[in-house]
Amino acid sequence: IIKNELDLSDSHEPMAFITVGYPLKQPKAPARKTLEDIIFKLKK
């Protein structure tokens, strides 16, 4: 599809694309982990 849209010849093959622009909606921030989820206590 992209090769046709860019009118590339058969000797050219798209390898990578970088998308540019802004999202339609701002994504929500991921939930923060609790302190208990992060800390591992060692017992003697």
Contacts 24+ apart (CB under 8 A), 15-22: none
How confident is the model over 1-44, as pLDDT tens digits?
888 888 999 999 888 988 899 989 998 999 999 998 999 888 87
The domain locations on the chain are 1-44
DSSP annotation of 6 reads T
Q: For position 5, what pLDDT does the model report?
A: 87
Q: For position 24, what pLDDT does the model report?
A: 92
Q: Half-sphere exposure of 15 toward its Cβ, with a 13 Å CA cutoff?
A: 2
How confident is the model over 12-22, as pLDDT tens digits?
988 898 889 99
* Predicted structure pTM score: 0.34
Q: For position 34, what pLDDT does the model report?
A: 94
Q: What is the dihedral of CA 22, 28, 34, 37, to 10 degrees?
A: -60
Q: Which candidate, 9, 25, 8, places its Cα nearest to that of 17?
A: 8
